Chains A and B, each alone.
Chain A
């Protein structure tokens, strides 16, 4: 046990991380499955997310009607998330009630019922969720960009799936996906909080070890071929506000270049906050804010890096100033990108980025749920060492590294530029 952290793999392949934190009478338990929209083919897009919904619809032991009530009654909070690379379920409970969460997760790893009636009612719920997303200009734009940037790789579609598939997928498609990917050897369990490691481990063994391992799920191996030239697209929709998103291709989170890119992100657009349960900081003195918002090309600008298994995208989102055209905002952005490609950044800027990351880490560690989140999250694209050494690796970044990655990854030829064109024109003011 190092830093109160224990890592064990059960005989069925389930990987366990335990971290004792005795600051509050709370335990947070997370179960991560290596399955997400990257594992979906056309016709079944959105299946991972739908399966996640069905995991709340009950087992023999925990019928739907009592499942959520049981957690709430004990004062717990629970939820689940489906992403491109993973699906995660968590419960944060008063420490003396965590047993319920562990029993529930062990049970629904293989015993969920997927009843036809429940599948039917959840179909319209998810369609409604998607319709809600479609109300948002940035969802419409983001979806168009993603499908353009990824012609071959399954990062091509949104996690929620295409409407065509949400209308036609059947119960057996869902159940087959569930049984294929929800096996202990395809999962990581991470528990943090107010417990004794040995007794927690014994309890987990008792509940999870009897679940037989399954065959290693087959993966789609469809790497995205190189992009040969900039692609621009436009989508139209209601509203009076234009948006521009510029997406550059980024390496996987496990790639060494992820760290100089994280520093570059911080000084271009303010630090991306990878914590799930604590907010970020403002970015009003980032280079892009000064060049775009302060100079009134945009009313806001944000940059976002995501930690993924396969190379994904770094997205810069600009809300265009009402007096400007999208192309003017884009030209102002390009001048800033060229600056980081041609001029060396200062040591002070790098030091500042590291301090920002240190502060965000500290905010994240106030919260046990967030600490438990990191134990498993890092494991989805690298390992917990990635998280533990993150600050040190940022500290090792040099100005030379930043210039190199700025030239290598922020290439016009391999980016996708998308514009949201509002159909209502300018507002009258």
Chain B
């Protein structure tokens, strides 16, 4: 049988290098399939967007492959798609990122296109306008999506006055104001090798992978790449705030209830994650699923999640319910949150979740994409190359008291955001 611990990535099989221009490269070989994943991030997220031009960071990443100094939009995608490869960009609040994959034989091509898109986009006018129509249609579809809108309203209330309150894809009126020159400027000021991290996982030897990054991006220099701004302090809730965002003609409402959660680097992160699993994930969606779905039959999905990143996180419960059941479901969820912070968790629940966290790790690291995400996670949060080998110990040392105090630190059942969208 394959040894479980050795199958997890660790210092002996993760290769890490930092290029002279600041790009960090992490690689791990996997020759079980002839394919390769390339993923990464860089400091050009929506945090840099002004309120008036919110969505600019996203517009920029979406436009990177619409034409470069060397190739047209059609030429870029023709090269990629002809070999069954893919490459795409995305934006978050802090970082923008990319994700690509190909057969190992086509990795040089993938790097050429990645390099062109990052370093030499020209943002052709006609392509910008085509893209604008697509972004606006996306926003029109978002406006009709009960899940998206409940989540957006939730963030607007919970993070009021903070950059996390804003949707990275902007609003129709902000997308309308963005000009080609805004994209050019955004790219010039925020794109550069400093802070960029690239993970390469698959059928390629580490030294070869690093050589390819050096060849494609080692010569990239960006003078004047701006520093990432500090996050402003977060205002906390003084009482529970409810908001109903009306979308007519829908047969189901989406509900998001929650509050702030820990940052990834907080000591409460692991206890809170374990608590969250018990609250709304374990088995068929934890205690929340048990009450809302299994016992009451109110929803097809009802679960909790934690978003823990560089800045203050959120801890939320989501459910899709019939419009007439919103109140009933909200009541059940708030009651569960109360029970969670009053009574904490049982020894059995804790043991179950620990076993779950440790046991499922190999599954989450099964594919090249899973490993690439793990490597990026290690680098972004400075977890150490041995993080996944130490993971079981980190999980095992958490006590029921740790979970309870983490829950009490973040969840106050009298100070929640209750956001729902639907008819």
Contact B366 A369 (CB under 8 A): yes
Q: Which of B358-380 contact A (CB under 8 A)?
A: 358-363, 366-369
CB pair A239–B141 under 8 Å, yes or no, is yes
What sequence of 0s and 1s flags, for each residue 386-407 of chain B, a beta carbon within 8 Å of any chain A beta carbon?
Answer: 0000000000000000000000
In this complex, the member of B7, B83, B84 whose beta carbon has the largest number of chain A beta carbons within 10 angstroms is: B84
Alpha-carbon distance A429/B74, docked complex (angstroms): 28
Q: Is A25 a contact of B2 with CB atoms below 8 Å?
A: yes
Q: B322, A366: Cβ atoms under 8 Å?
A: no
Given that A73-B355, A240-B144, A359-B85 are known contacts, is A135 also in contact with B252, CB under 8 Å in the complex? yes
Known: A94-B359, A125-B297, A319-B137. A283 touches B4 (CB 8 A): no
Q: With the chains together, A187 CA to B82 CA distance in Å?
A: 39
Cross-chain contact B173 with A429 (CB below 8 angstroms) = yes
Pick the contact of B361 from A75, A279, A322, A366 — CB < 8 Å?
A: A75
Contact of A366 among B73, B84, B130, B368 (CB under 8 A): B368
Task: Indicate whether A365 reaches chain B with its CB closer than 8 angstroms.
Answer: yes
Taking chain A's interface residues, is the majority helix, strand, or loop, or is none over half, making it mixed? mixed
Q: Given the complex of chains A and B, what is the CA–CA distance between A287 and B282 in angstroms?
A: 45
Partner of A75, one of B102, B321, B355: B355
Given A69-B283, A135-B252, A281-B86, are A366 and B35 also a contact pair (CB < 8 Å)? yes
Q: Scoring B residues 134 to 170 as 1 if CB is less than 8 Å from chain A, else 0, what string do you get?
A: 1011001101111000000000000000000000000
User: Are B359's CB and A76's CB within 8 A?
Assistant: yes
In the docked arrangement, what's the CA distance between A237 and B248, Å?
A: 10
Of B264-272, B288-296, B304-312, the stretch lying at the interface with chain A is: B288-296
Instruction: Please provide the chain A residues from 284 to 316 with a CB less than 8 Å away from any CB of chain B in the complex.
Output: 284-286, 290, 293-294, 296, 299-300
Q: Determine the distance from Cα of A126 to Cα of B252 in the docked complex, in whole angstroms.
A: 12
**CB-nearest residue of chain B to A238:** B249
Whether A77 contacts B133 by the Cβ 8 Å rule is no
The chain A residue with its CB closest to the CB of B176 is A429
Contacts of A240 in B (CB 8 A): 140, 143-144
Q: Give every chain B residue within 8 A of A97 (Cβ-Cβ).
A: 359
Let me know if A427 is at the binding interface, CB within 8 A: yes
Determine whether the beta carbon of A366 is less than 8 Å from that of B32: yes
Task: Please judge, given known A-B contacts A76-B360, A355-B82, whether A24 and B322 are in contact too, CB under 8 Å.
Answer: no
Q: Which of A115-123, A210-218, A328-336, A392-400 contacts B (4 or more CB under 8 A)?
A: A115-123
User: Cβ of B412 < 8 Å from any Cβ of A?
Assistant: no
Complex interface bits, A242-264 against B, C-beta within 8 A gives 1, otherwise 0: 00000000000000000000000
- The one of B35, B73, B283 that contacts A72, using a Cβ cutoff of 8 Å: B283
How far, in whole Å, are A135 and B250 apart by their CA atoms in the complex?
Answer: 5
The CA-CA distance from A56 to B283 in the complex, in Å, is 11
Closest to A240 in B: B140
Please determine whether A26 and B78 come into contact, CB atoms closer than 8 angstroms.
no
Count residues of B near A (Cβ-Cβ below 8 Å).
74
A56 and chain B: residue at smallest CB distance: B284
Contacts of A369 in B (CB 8 A): 366
Within 68-92 of B, Cβ neighbours of A (below 8 Å) are at: 73-74, 77-78, 80-86, 88
Q: Say if the beta carbon of B103 comes within 8 Å of chain A.
A: yes
Q: How far is the CB of A136 from chain B (nearest CB, A)?
A: 9
A363 vs B146: C-alpha distance when bound (angstroms): 33
Query: Is A121 within 8 A of B247, CB to CB?
Result: no
Q: How far is the CB of B71 from chain A (nearest CB, A)?
A: 12
- Does the CB pair B359–A75 fall under 8 Å? yes
A262 to chain B, nearest CB (A): 14
Q: How far is the CB of B397 from chain A (nearest CB, A)?
A: 18
A97-B359, A120-B297, A135-B250 known; A322+B137 contact, CB < 8 A: yes
- B13 CB to closest chain A CB (Å) equals 13
Contacts of B367 in A (CB 8 A): 278, 366-367
Q: Which residues of B contact A194 (CB under 8 A)?
A: 1-2
Within the complex, which residue of B32, B130, B251, B300 is in contact with A126, where a contact is CB–CB below 8 Å? B300
Q: How far is the CA of A279 from the CA of B251 in the complex (A)?
A: 30
Q: Is B352 an interface residue (CB 8 A)?
A: yes
A308 to chain B: closest CB distance in Å?
24
Mark contacts of A106-149 with chain B using CB atoms, 8 A cut-off: 1 yes-contact digit, 0 otherwise. Answer: 00000000000000111111111101101101000000000000
Q: How far is the CA of A120 from the CA of B294 in the complex (A)?
A: 11
A363-B35 in contact (CB<8A): yes
A24-B362, A25-B2, A359-B102 known; A73 vs B352 contact (CB < 8 Å): yes
Given contacts A240-B140, A323-B133, contact A128 B252 (CB under 8 A): yes
CB of A25 within 8 A of CB of B7, answer: yes
What chain B residues lie within 8 Å of A22 (beta carbons)? 2
CB-based contact B84/A131 at 8 Å: no
11 pairs of residues in contact across A and B, judged by CB atoms under 8 Å:
A25-B3, A74-B356, A94-B4, A95-B1, A121-B295, A128-B321, A282-B86, A282-B88, A284-B73, A355-B84, A367-B367
List 11 additional contacts besides A128-B299, A241-B140, A429-B176; criterion CB under 8 Å.
Answer: A24-B2, A26-B366, A75-B363, A76-B359, A132-B300, A237-B249, A285-B81, A296-B130, A356-B82, A359-B84, A429-B173
Interface residues of A (CB under 8 A from B): 22-26, 56, 64, 68-69, 71-77, 92, 94-97, 120-129, 131-132, 134-135, 137, 194, 237-241, 270-271, 278-286, 290, 293-294, 296, 299-300, 319, 321-323, 352, 355-360, 362-363, 365-369, 423, 427, 429
Kindly list the 5 A-B residue pairs having the minimum CB-CB distance in the complex, ordered from nearest. A75-B359, A359-B84, A238-B249, A68-B283, A124-B297
* B contact set with A: CB distance below 8 Å: 1-4, 7, 30, 32-35, 73-74, 77-78, 80-86, 88, 101-103, 130, 133-134, 136-137, 140-141, 143-146, 172-173, 176, 247-252, 282-284, 293-301, 320-322, 352, 355-363, 366-369
